[in-house]
Amino acid sequence: MSNKTIFDEIGGDAGVNKVVDSFYNKMIADDRINKLFEDIYLPILISHQRAFIKFSLDDGDSGYTGKPLREAHATLVDKKGLNDFHFDVVKELFEESLNEANIQEEKKSEIIEFIETTRKEVLNL
C-alpha cells in the first residue's frame, strides 16, 4: 500500500501545473463558460488555482493564501450569474484535463468528488 498523496500521484508540482494549464485553456475556449472570465487577469487566477489544487491534494506546502471559496467567487455569482450549469461545465473540463494527464480512474474520481464538495461554497448556496 502506498503512502502517496493524490498530489504525488498526479505528478507533484509539474503535474498540477499541467492539469491546471490544460483546464484553463479549455475554459477560455468553451463558449459555455468563457464569458465569466472576461475582465479577469488570468495569470493571477491560474496561480491561485494551482496553489488551491496543490493545497486540496494535500501537498503540505501549497503556499495558498487566497480568499475563501465563497468570497473568491461572489462577484462571479452576483454580477456574472455563475450557477450550477457553469459548475458542471467546470467539473467536465477539469475531468477532461485529468484524462489527458492519464490520471488513474480511482484518483480522478477522488478529485472530481472533492470538486463537487465545493459547489455550495463556490455558488454561495
**pLDDT tens digits, 2-11:** 567 788 888 8
**pLDDT tens digits, 33-73:** 999 998 889 999 899 888 888 878 765 555 566 788 889 88
**In the chain, where are the structural domains located?**
6-122
What does the pLDDT read at residue 87? Answer: 97
Q: What is the DSSP annotation of the chain?
A: -----HHHHHTHHHHHHHHHHHHHHHHHH-TTTGGGGTT--HHHHHHHHHHHHHHHTT-S--------HHHHHHHHHHHH---HHHHHHHHHHHHHHHHHTT--HHHHHHHHHHHHHTHHHHTT-
Q: What is the pTM of this model?
A: 0.88
- Choose which CATH entry (3.40.50.1000, 3.30.1200.10, 1.10.3720.10, 1.10.490.10) describes domain 6-122: 1.10.490.10
